[in-house]
Amino acid sequence: MNHDIAGRVFPGLDENLLAVIANRMKKLEQSLENAEIKIRPDAEIQKDLVKVLLFSEYIASGLAKNPEIFKELVESGDLFKSYSHVSYSARIRKKTIHLEDTASIKKILLHIKLYESIRIAWRDLTGKARLEETLCDLSNLADAVIDAALQSLYDDLGKIYGLPVDADGNFYRLTVLGMGKLGAHELNFSSDLDLIFVYPEQGYTNTENFISNEEFFIKLCRRFLKFFTPGMGEINFYRIDTRLRPYGEGGPLVMSAAGFEAYYQAQGREWERYAMIKARPVAGDIEAGKTLLKILNSFVYRRYFDYGSFD
């Protein structure tokens, strides 16, 4: 790659910063050489590469450790594409459709998260994406990863205990509500994922080795949290925060829809009213989540104001 391009992209740049670019460029080139990857980026990508190597240690480190990602980004044209809200789910489905074990799916999701995070950051830093697109992309990526992980864990647990059903044999799924920045499609690169878990109704799983729906979904949520706990040497995944749930950190990890509604209507506090404005179903049973939030409209948007509301 052209080493003189840095001076043309940033004329008059401090020598120390030029050295930073040169050092990071050298590490990337060495990594490409070690992996026997040959690639010829066009002039625009070379200019953009200089920018992102200066602006982002995260991108510089990520590409140096994973040179195949740089090759794919360049050859796929993904750096010049705007994604729709379903793009991430489709890409994840394509790469995991034939996988059944959760460990393999986690490995794929970690790679996709790194690849897409670098792509989103690159487009942001080079001015190819507006802020709104960047935040929305990060949120949609998180939605897709959460949903894929949840489905894999749900299937695994179902093999052991059967699946939760109602009296008519209809399958129940978990609803995951995104709160805060995720719920508002405002996620940034360092945000926690604020999540609340809700299941439809009480009942039992459909097998001889049955357990209650509540027990099934508690096990599912615990496995979900463990899934996102980073192991030794793993790429950073998402930090999950469930403290916005009813009763906070001391409350149940997951609640039935009836118990969830009853809590907010009887005990919901002012800050929870405001927090629910940003709530959005992000994974699992989306339609059930929409119905649940619609029921809570009377709590979130009060019909009458009192002096406490104005205060």
pLDDT value at position 2?
57
Instruction: Find the helix packing angle between 15-34 and 43-55, rounded to 10°.
Output: 110
Residues 6+ apart with CB under 8 A from 186: 135, 139
pLDDT value at position 302?
80
How many CA atoms, within 13 angstroms, populate the side-chain half-sphere of residue 172? 24
Q: How far apart are CA 262 and CA 276, in angstroms?
A: 15
Alpha helices (H) in 126-251, listed in sequence order: 131-161, 180-183, 213-227
Instruction: Find the helix packing angle between 131-161 and 102-125, rounded to 10°.
Output: 180
pLDDT value at position 230?
75
Q: How far apart are CA 217 and CA 227, in angstroms?
A: 15
**Residues in the chain with pLDDT values less than 70:** 1-3, 231-236, 309
Question: Tell me: the pLDDT tens digits for 186-207?
Answer: 999 999 999 999 999 988 999 8
Nearest to 63 by CA among 92, 27, 36: 27
pLDDT value at position 133?
97
pLDDT value at position 234?
61
Q: How far apart are CA 56 and CA 213, in angstroms?
A: 46
Cβ 68 vs Cβ 37: under 8 Å: yes
Q: Which residue is listed with tokens 């009942």?
A: 203
> Count of residues for the chain?
311
Q: Which two tokens mark 134?
A: 């960047």
pLDDT value at position 185?
97
- Report the alpha-carbon angle 51-57-63, nearest 5: 80
Residues 6+ apart with CB under 8 A from 266: none
pLDDT value at position 307?
75
